[in-house]
Amino acid sequence: MDISLFLFVGFSCFLLINGNKVEDCDYLTDKTSLQSFQVLLQAEQPYRTAYHFQSPQNWLNDPNGPMYYKGVYHLFYQYNPNSAWFGDGMVWAHSASYDLINWFGLDHALVPSEPFDAISCWSGSATILPGDKPVILYTGIDANYNQVQNLATPKNESDPLLVEWVKYFGNPLMTPPDGVKGDNFRDPTTAWQGPDGTWKVVIGSYSNNQGMAILFQSQDFVHWTMHRDPLYSSLKTEMWECPDFFPVSINSTNGVDTSVENPSVRHVMKASFNSHDYYTVGTYVTEQERFLPDADFTGTSLDLRFDYGKFYASKSFFDGKKNRRILCAWVNESDSMEDDLKKGWSGLQSIPRQIWLDLNGKQLVQWPVEELNSLRGNEVYVYDKQLESGSVFEVSGITASQADIEIMFELPKLEEAEFIDTSLVDPQLICDKQDASVTGKFGPFGLLALATKDLTEQTAIFFRVFRDHKDYKVLMCSDQKRSSLRNELDKTTYGAFIDIDPQREMVSLRTLIDHSIIESFGGKGRSVITTRVYPKLAIYDEAHLFAFNNGSLSVTVSRLNAWSMNKAQITAGGKTETISEDFSRKK
Ligand SMILES: OC[C@H]1O[C@@](CO)(OC[C@@]2(O[C@H]3O[C@H](CO)[C@@H](O)[C@H](O)[C@H]3O)O[C@H](CO)[C@@H](O)[C@@H]2O)[C@@H](O)[C@@H]1O
C-alpha cells in the first residue's frame, strides 16, 4: 500500500493512496484512525504483488528499452502518470536494479514535450553503440497523432543510472512511409550492426493486408533510409506491435549480442498482435536483408507463442553481465476497468526470463532469471508421494499467496493413457472443454493455487497426457474458472502442448504465485502460461496450495519443492504525480 502524499491546500487536506484521492483529513485526525485506515486499505489491496514489478499507482504497459549498462539493469516502461487507465500523455517511466528483481524508481526518462512527441512517448528500445554509448529509439505520437520514430541519448554517459535523457534536436528520424497509415508505424526494435558497419532496425507496421517489420538502415544512427522490402511480413497477421528480432545460439543456453551473425546462430522474429506474442525461428539472410522463417505465422493455435496466457509487448535484451538473453513483458489485468480505478493501478511486468533455443532447434525455452531464487524463504518438500485417483493433498508450511513451487510427476504404466481425439487441435479449447473438473485417465493432475481450504476458490494448473499413435502428447492447462467467487472477471482457460516425451522425461512444472499473478513453466520452460486471478477469499493467509490428481490413473509426485517468497524491494520513482482533473478517476 502506497500512501503517496498529503496535500494541504489552504484549509483543506486530502490523501493520495495509490494515486487516488480517497479521504478528507478530518477523518484522520489522530494516529489510531490513520493506522486503522491503513489496515482497511491493506485489506482492500490483496492483488498487489510482492515480487513482480509494478508501479506504485496508475496504468503501466509495455516494457521499453531494457538494458544492462555499467553494472545496472534498466527497465523503462509505458506509464500513464494521470490515470489507472491507458490514455494520452504516456511517458517512459524508469526503474533500475542490480539484480533484475529489486528495483528503485528514477525520474521519468521521456515525457511528451516536443512537436514530435507532443501527445505521447510510446514504446521503443535501447541499443548500446560501440564505445559503450546507450541510445534510445522510441515512437513519438506527434501533435497530429502520427507515429514517428525519435532518438534520445543520455545527458551524462558516465552516470550508470542514466537518469537524464536528451531528445535529438533533429527528430523525427523516421516518419510513416507511403502506403502506411500514420497510426500503423511504431515500436522500433534494438538496432543491430551488419558486418559492413550498417545499422539496421525494424518498425512494427501493417500495410497491404499484411502485418510486417519494416526495415530501416543507417550509417550514423541519425539518417535512416527505408529498405525496399520489409525484413518479414505475413498475410495472416494484423498490425505488428513491438516486434523483436534477435539471434540465438544453436548449441548453448548463453545469449548473444543482437548484432551477432554467424553459422552458430539462428534468428527469432517476434510480433505482438491479437493480444499475444507470437514468434518464429528462422534464418537471417543478411545479403538480401530477408528473414526466412522455418514456419510462417498461420494466425492459428499452431503458431509458437512466448506464453500461452497473458503476456504481451515483450522485449528481450542481451545481458552482457551474465551472457544471457532476458525477456520481459507486460501482463495486463483480467478484472474490469472499474476495478482498476478502484485499485488505482493496472498492469504488471512478468518476472524477467532467460531465453534460449531448445536443443531440438524448433522452439525457445524460458526460465525465470536465477536471481529470483534469492527471494526464496522457508522451504517444504515432498518426495515419492503417490497421488491416487481423486486425491488432493495440501502443501502446507509456506505462504501460499506468495510462493515458488517446483514439482515433477512420474507416470507409471504410460501405455494406459487415453488416445487423443485428433479432431481437437487447439490446446486452449481442449483445456476449456476438459477443465480441471473433468476426469480423464492421466490427468488432470497438477497444482491448485490460491485456493480456499474447501477448494471453493482455486486456480488449477494441470496436465493431461494422451497417446497419439505410438507417441504421447502432453497438454498443460491453466483453468481460472473457479479462481474467484467474484463476477465480472475474465476467467478464460488457457492451454498449450508441451514438446516433451514422457517416456524419457518426467512431466515437470514450476509455478510462481504472487497474489494476483500465476506464472507456470511446463516441461522445464518449453511451454509457459501466465494468468491473472482475483480470489475473493483465498487471499493472504487464507490462500492454500494443493497438489491434486483428478485422473482415473494414479501418478507419483517424484519431487515437490515449495518456497515462501520474500517481498522484493520495489520503490517508487523520483516524481510524485498529482491527480489531473482532466482524467476522472473518482471512485
Ligand atoms: O503504450 C503504447 C504502446 O502500447 C502498444 C502495445 O501495447 O500499443 C497499444 C495500443 O493501444 C491499445 O492498447 C492499450 C493498452 O496497451 C489500450 O488500453 C488501448 O485502448 C488500445 O487502443 O495503441 C494503439 C492505438 O490505440 C492500439 O492499436 C494498440 O493496441 C504499442 O504498440 C505502443 O507503442
Distance 185 CA to ligand 1 centre (A): 12
Position in ligand 1 atom list of the atom nearest CA 85: 18
pLDDT score recorded for residue 43: 52
Residue 390 and residue 344: Cα distance in Å, rounded? 41
Please tell me the predicted confidence (pLDDT) of residue 580. Answer: 32
Distance of CA 108 to the CA centre of its chain: 21
Which three three-digit cell numbers place residue 472? 504421447
Residue 155: CB atoms within 10 A of its CB come to 11
Write down the pLDDT at residue 573.
76
331 CA → ligand 1 middle, Å: 13
Question: What are the pLDDT digits (tens) for 56-98?
Answer: 999 999 999 999 999 999 999 999 999 999 999 999 999 999 9
pLDDT for 218-257, tens place per residue? Answer: 999 999 999 999 999 999 999 999 999 999 999 999 999 9
Sequence-separated (6 or more) residues with CB below 8 Å from residue 230? 202, 205, 212, 213, 214, 215
3-state helix, strand, coil in the chain (%, to 5): 10, 45, 45
Q: Which atom of ligand 1 is nearest to the CA of 204?
A: 32
Mean pLDDT of the chain: 92
Instruction: Let me know: does 231 contact 289? Beta carbons within 8 Å.
Output: yes
pLDDT tens column, 475-529: 999 999 999 999 999 999 999 999 999 999 999 999 999 999 999 999 999 999 9
Ligand 1 within 6 A of 14 CB?
Answer: no
The pLDDT of residue 581: 30
- What are the tens digits of pLDDT across the range 353-375? 999 999 999 999 999 999 999 99
Q: Please state the CATH superfamily assignment of the domain spanning residues 375-566 in this structure.
A: Exo-inulinase; domain 1 (2.60.120.560)
Atom of ligand 1 nearest to the CA of 62: 7
Does ligand 1 have an atom closer than 6 angstroms to the CB of 117? Answer: no
- pLDDT at position 19, please? 44
pLDDT value of position 256: 98
Q: Measuring from atom 17 of ligand 1, which residue has the nearest CA? A: 86
The reply to whether ligand 1 has any atom less than 6 angstroms from the CB of 186 is yes
Of 43-57, 105-119, 164-178, give the lowest mean pLDDT range. 43-57
What is the pLDDT at residue 424? 83
- CB-based contact 93:74 (threshold 8 Å): no
Ligand 1 center to residue 312 CA distance, Å? 11
Residue 422 pLDDT grade (very low, low, confident, very high; cuts 50, 70, 90): confident
pLDDT of 165 over the 60 cut = yes
What does the pLDDT look like over 297-355, one tens digit per residue? 998 999 999 999 999 999 999 999 999 999 999 999 999 999 999 999 999 999 999 99
Which residues of the chain does CATH 2.115.10.20 include? 56-367
Cβ(402) – ligand 1 distance below 6 Å: no
CATH 2.60.120.560 range(s) for the chain read 375-566
- Please work out whether the CB of residue 78 comes within 6 Å of at least one atom of ligand 1: yes
Q: What is the pLDDT of residue 37?
A: 46
Q: Backbone dihedral region of 450: left (phi > 0), alpha (psi from -120 to 50 degrees) or beta?
A: left
Catalytic residues: 62
Residues 28-56 pLDDT 10s: 444 444 444 444 444 579 999 999 999 99
pLDDT at residue 471 is higher than 80: yes
Answer yes or no: is the C-beta of 315 below 6 A from any ligand 1 atom. Answer: no
Q: Choose the residue to mutate in 110, 111, 123 for probing ligand 1, maximizing ligand atoms within 8 Å of C-beta.
A: 123
Q: Could you read off the pLDDT of 255-266 as tens digits, one per residue? A: 999 999 999 999
Task: Supply the pLDDT for residue 518.
Answer: 99
Say if residue 586's pLDDT is above 80.
no
Model pLDDT, residue 8:
36
Q: Tell me, yes or no, if the pTM score tops 0.90.
A: yes
The residue whose CA has the least distance to atom 18 of ligand 1 is 86
Spatial distance between the Cα atoms of 369 and 198, rounded to a whole number of angstroms: 33
Name the residue of 59, 60, 62, 64 whose CB sits within 8 Å of the most ligand 1 atoms, as the mutation to test its pocket: 62
| pLDDT, tens digit (0-9, with 9 covering 90-100), for 188-206 | 999 999 999 999 999 999 9
Greater confidence (574 vs 94) lies with 94
Query: How far, in Å, is the centroid of ligand 1 from the Cα of 527?
Result: 26
d(CA 501, CA 44): 45
| pLDDT value for 39 | 43
pLDDT, mean of residues 463-480 = 96
Task: Determine which residue's CA is closest to atom 12 belonging to ligand 1.
Answer: 86
CA distance 232 to 205: 11
Residue 587's pLDDT is: 24
Question: What percent of the chain clears pLDDT 90, i.e. is strictly above it?
Answer: 88
Which tops the pLDDT comparison, 2 or 73?
73
147 lines ligand 1 (CB under 6 A): no
Q: Considering only CA atoms, which residue is closest to atom 19 of ligand 1?
A: 86
For ligand 1, what atom is nearest to the CA of residue 241? 32
**Mean per-residue pLDDT for 144-168?**
98
Going from the Cα of 309 to the center of ligand 1, the distance in angstroms, rounded, reads: 18
Q: Is 332 in the pocket of ligand 1 (CB under 6 A)?
A: no
Q: How far is the CA of 164 from the centre of ligand 1 (A)?
A: 26
Domain covering 56-367, topology: Tachylectin-2; Chain A (2.115.10)
**Amino acid sitting at position 162:** L
**CA 169 – ligand 1 centroid, Å:** 26
What ligand 1 atom has the least distance to the C-alpha of 86? 18
Atom 24 of ligand 1, nearest CA residue? 183
- Do 319 and 74 touch, CB atoms closer than 8 A? no
CB 513 within 8 A of CB 449: yes
Task: Pick from 76, 78, 345 the residue to mutate for probing ligand 1's pocket: most ligand atoms within 8 Å of its CB.
Answer: 78
- Residues of the chain with pLDDT > 70: what percent? 90
Whether 566 has a pLDDT exceeding 50, the answer reads: yes
Residue 210: count of CB within 10 angstroms of its CB: 17
| CA 122 / ligand 1 centre spacing (Å) | 9
For ligand 1, say whether the CB of 122 is within 6 Å of any of its atoms.
Answer: yes
Rounded distance from Cα 201 to ligand 1 centre (Å): 21
Return the ligand 1 atom nearest residue 330 CA: 7
Q: How far is CA 305 from CA 124, 277, 425, 474, in A?
A: 21, 6, 16, 17
Query: What ipTM score was computed for the predicted complex, to two decimals?
Result: 0.92
The secondary structure of residue 519, as a DSSP letter, is: E
